[in-house]
Chains A and B, each alone.
Chain A
């Protein structure tokens, strides 16, 4: 097969080129046409973008299902925080000018709604905006007089009015820290939005408006996870458009420096481009979304695609001048490289393909399509590169390549490689010893790794999103909202018992009231019975229904857990525990609302800022709270049956480790203090979802990596048909991974998604060099008397190709370091690190080990 493929490429170059262009065009059209002509190609998929990290988990993942359920139950939406920080004004934000601005911004935010194509309202949810001008205030105005009023209906006109507002804020505990910072230097409003994907639009509009409000020392910030995530999505696409081509350009220039012929070095780029087009095209065509992960597919395919082509060009460069015939030179090069390239591609495909084993859909998609890209790169490298060289006009190659080596004409690469060879040969034991030390240090480093991710930190420190995050979380309670829902595990209403009791107490009762769907839970069943009774009372006016309704009302009251002082006290304890954590800026629940109403109804004095003494009082307080402008606010904290409490927990950090701490502290608390009424607590909210998928990712990645490592090891045994050679070939990869993660641990860089995915990339890249190096070494040794003699040749062609590869691919990704998005920087940095490490291990440690193990490795080779 090898012969046939090589000859097809060399003898039918035009056919190869046509075939490649045709394939790329078909895939490209299949992917793009449905997007441009959605009506004509309605059966196919359009390009769909999804930048929501929530989708790191499948939609039916329990944590997401619960998150969605609770959001609906509690009428919650994702939140955007808009803050003003004023550190220069002597009164902080409590000045006429700043307060006028927050008023104006809130009024502006109300206009940020629109109807989508389906006629649904999108944008900011006006009724739930939390701003000084939309906040309700209840206060004891004077003895015996209670006032329900807006906190700041209109902006204050003078300092007296400002002072009055400040006084109100100081009593309205549930907005303290959230809306007005305790240091008086910041204030914020919270905008609930219809869905996360409108964040970027709202963010842009808000920033436009903010431009017109500058001055007075006010610094404006827009923060919140939805903004960070949506803005990241938008900038990610910009980066794809900038970073990938920039990397291409640098790779091109580096190759040009090595091989000197523009026409020639274009060929690997064509292969890379075609591979990217085919794999991304198929991704779109198959209806997969372009996600944070899949946006990185081109960046991962490119180095791998260029890798093999550089091997061919490098070897061709070495032998062309001695053969002088391109056909002959190509046959020679291709025959040597065919097997190593096939195996390196297979191992890379496996490395990325193994990502389907992770439980994270976007990572699976990423793995599959990088694998497809790698396979494409292999195919077009062995077909197109030779074909391309054959199609070049004769004179292009005239002075191409390395002149047959002469002692006095040695380039820097020759000098470098010969010294590397000497070190590895003369100090073999020292090299191996240093490798062992390196492993020891790295293993220690790996133990220091902190697993953590934080979508806000995907931006550089001076990015407006990061600044907003830092500033707002410094002054205010926190921009990361998570929720802890407490609900009973057992039914509060026993249907049969209630029915019997009602029949016994009211024999005259029409039994039809119990014709209720029996599958309903106890409370819903009771509510249905109540409605039937209500209707009967309305129609007949019969007192028996009125009395039965009173009984039902009593039952409902008994089931209303969060009217119980005991349940409210439990919330108080839990919240006190949580508030003790540095990362928790504020907690908020019905308990806080109860205390405020209790104080204002009784006396306005602090002594009454306590949980009400009994259920009835609590029940009345709930009704009193609803007597304001925003009665529905209560339903963000509990349900109309008062059996669920939703505790808002505002974190000042989006770090998953911080969320993890909050979670474990809560768990411990509930273990030490069993909740009354059989209550059970569960977390939800974006910050919590991020924690869950991260957990899955870490172990998923580890699992995927170990599986692919095992498969690749087996393939290596098969390829080399030798235990020792197979083992040896895994060394550059193993050492690279250990060192890279060791460095990550020692440097204190946290283990996040890009870092996790790098293990697969190492598998793809690092084993490559080992295969090329060892396969050739073994082959060359067959015709040489000793490893010493063979190594001289090995350090010519294969080693050179490897070093060139390290330079071209490793440095090709330097443009990524200038990206404002941290994951891109991480990938850029670590691609270089992986290649350098794998390259060094290959040309330094492998020859040293071969020397030490020469007898064992070459026992079948006759001297």
Chain B
């Protein structure tokens, strides 16, 4: 009798497991996608070439190194980011530091080398432009999963199509966004943001990705603002995971005294 029960239970479990493997729940999809997009490894770094191209075809360029560390290595939670700018010349040495929180506002600092000033950026609105590009601060550090209600719209040949509707509509320009997540790697391939009129006004595209240290990693991505015609391209080189970046790097002290050995590698 007990044996049979165990078998039945095992069968159930097996069935359950195989089903979830076959058809992921929407929460799992976005959790995995979020992990791939922001939490690969316990820490990581990359060099980024940013190209901002306006509707007239004029371009502006930024070049920076980004360091990231996950605080809680068991769960995708708090993180710290350190962004060091190499170019343009005027921005060289500018540092942007974020302590991403799960509750309350993130802590953000900016260091202006020409003024030798550290400024804390007041919390609240994270949907401002990241150094003049079409990426927002929120795109750089990630949006809390609980901020939106997610729904699996459909499954195509190689992607899950998930619709996310903001819980609190004030303060965001989009009424919803629809993400295409790669079925195998869970890397986001495309995200379309809809305005209040139900029209797409902003598109994220993962134009190229590779496995780096066994982790799906974006190599070229873009964000196009259809209202202004401005598009930003990010190209990532020298992506590394599990570098063992010391926690102390992500502090106000290192804003003025950048860890160049970690940045120029």
Contact = CB atoms under 8 A, between A and B. Distances in A.
A13 to B, nearest CB: 67
Nearest to B235: A538
B59 A531 contact: yes
Nearest to A111: B197
B49 A537 contact: yes
Interface string B58-72: 111101000000000
Q: How large is the interface on B (under 10, 10 to 19, 20 to 34, 35 or more residues)?
A: 35 or more
Contacts of A150: 125
Interface in B80-131: 86-91, 94, 110, 112-115, 117-122, 124-125, 127-131
A545 to B, nearest CB: 11
B184 to A, nearest CB: 26
A92 interface: no
A501 to B, nearest CB: 16
A154 to B, nearest CB: 7
Interface string B162-188: 000000001100000000000000000
A550 interface: yes
Contacts of B197: 111
A144 interface: yes
A549 B50 CA distance: 13
B125 A617 contact: no
B238 interface: yes
A538 B121 contact: no
B29 interface: no
A146 B131 contact: no
Contacts of B94: 620, 623
A802 interface: no
A563 B125 contact: no
Contacts, number: 127
B54 interface: yes
A617 B122 contact: no
Contacts of B88: 553, 556-557, 619
Contact of A623 (B91, B124, B171, B230): B91
B122 A126 contact: no
A631 B132 contact: yes
B117 A601 contact: yes
B158 interface: no
B51 interface: yes
B90 A619 contact: yes
B156 interface: no
Contact of A628 (B89, B119, B128, B238): B128
Contacts of A141: 122
Contacts of A538: 49, 235, 237
Contacts of A260: none
Interface size, A (range): 35 or more
Listed residue (B58, B88, B238) with the most chain A CB atoms within 10 angstroms of its CB: B88
Contacts of B51: 534
Contact of A616 (B114, B130, B131): B114
Contacts of B63: 549
B115 A620 contact: yes
A635 interface: yes
Name, among B86, B113, B120, the residue most crowded by chain A CB atoms within 10 Å (CB to CB).
B120
A616 to B, nearest CB: 4
Interface string B22-64: 0000000000000000000000000001010011101111010
A623 B88 CA distance: 10
A620 B63 CA distance: 15
Given A620-B94, A620-B112, A146 B122 contact: yes
Nearest to B126: A148
A623 B87 CA distance: 12
Contacts of B227: 126-127
Contact of A146 (B56, B120, B237, B238): B120
A629 B124 CA distance: 13
B112 A629 contact: no
B198 to A, nearest CB: 13
Nearest to B85: A623
Contacts of B170: 153-154
Given A73-B56, A146-B120, A538-B49, A627 B132 contact: yes
Contact of B115 (A557, A601, A629, A632): A601
Contacts of A658: none
Contacts of B54: 632, 635, 640
Nearest to B117: A601
Interface string A249-290: 000000000000000000000000000000000000000000
Nearest to A642: B90
A145 B105 CA distance: 14
Given A556-B89, A639-B58, A628 B129 contact: yes
B73 interface: no
| Residue from B87, B94, B170 whose CB has the most chain A CB atoms within 10 Å | B87
B20 interface: no
Given A632-B54, A634-B132, 4 more contacts: A145-B120, A537-B49, A553-B87, A556-B88
20 contacts: A73-B56, A144-B120, A145-B119, A145-B121, A149-B122, A153-B170, A531-B59, A550-B86, A553-B61, A553-B88, A556-B88, A556-B89, A601-B112, A615-B90, A616-B113, A619-B89, A620-B114, A623-B94, A628-B128, A634-B132
Q: Which 7 pairs of residues, A with B, have the shortest CB-CB distance?
A: A619-B90, A626-B132, A147-B122, A616-B114, A631-B129, A557-B89, A631-B132
